[in-house]
């Protein structure tokens, strides 16, 4: 038993931040799924702003609430060491620079969270107000993607 525990501790240290039983592939899939859900609600906001779906304050407010909830999610464990696109080509677009600059990544996430606060105030106030706030929000997503996400796999 003691020996088992020790090897578990060694395994965890070797893979850094990955809990036993969670593979790098799992972490990457979860990371991408996290952003996909964020993108799903963003698409709703965008469709409302463009008039592709009829403006509805409740629909808009729910989408923002979902995104704010995701903004509170601690993404730290979605970024274990060894899961950049250099380590796992074809599986992820996360650039290696992320692991050299986690603070920078978090600052970009803060910018999105700030834009979400503004969006939260605007979303229920009509299509025009929603559209205005959407530019800032979309810009905050791009702000992170341009530095930390590669264009292609």
Q: Is 109 in the site for ligand HEC (CB under 6 A)?
A: yes
14: exposed, middle or buried (C-beta count within 10 Å: 0-12, 13-18, 19+)? exposed
Backbone torsion region of residue 21, taken as left when φ is above 0, otherwise alpha when ψ lies between -120 and 50, otherwise beta: left
What does the block give as tokens for 112? Answer: 């999105």
At its nearest, how many Å lie between ligand HEC and the CB of residue 97? 10
User: Closest distance between ligand HEC and the C-beta of residue 4, in Å?
Assistant: 32
CB of 147 to ligand HEC, least distance (A): 8
Piece in contact with ligand HEC (CB under 6 A), picked from 5-13, 15-23, 30-38, 122-130: 30-38
**Matching residue, tokens 């020996």:** 3
Q: Which residues does residue 149 pair with via DSSP β-bridges, in sequence order?
A: 94
38: which residues sit within 8 A by CB, 6+ positions away?
A: 67, 70
Is 36 one of the binding residues for ligand HEC (CB under 6 A)?
Answer: yes
Contacting positions for ligand HEC (CB under 6 A): 28, 31-32, 35-36, 38-39, 42, 92-94, 105, 108-109, 112, 137, 141, 144-145, 148-149
């Amino acid at each position: 038993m003691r020996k088992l525990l020790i090897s578990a501790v060694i395994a965890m240290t070797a893979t850094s931040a990955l809990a036993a039983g969670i593979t790098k592939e799992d972490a990457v899939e979860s990371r991408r799924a996290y952003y996909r859900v964020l993108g799903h609600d963003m698409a709703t906001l965008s469709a409302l702003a463009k008039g592709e779906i009829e403006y509805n304050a409740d629909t808009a407010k729910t989408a923002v609430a979902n995104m704010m909830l995701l903004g509170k999610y601690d993404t730290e464990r979605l970024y274990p060491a060894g899961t950049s696109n250099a380590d796992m080509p074809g599986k992820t677009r996360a650039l290696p620079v992320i692991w050299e600059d986690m603070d920078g990544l978090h600052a970009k996430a803060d910018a999105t969270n700030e834009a979400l606060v503004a969006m939260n105030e605007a979303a229920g106030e009509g299509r025009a107000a929603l559209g205005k706030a959407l530019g800032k929000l979309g810009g905050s997503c791009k702000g992170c993607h341009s530095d930390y996400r590669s264009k292609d796999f």
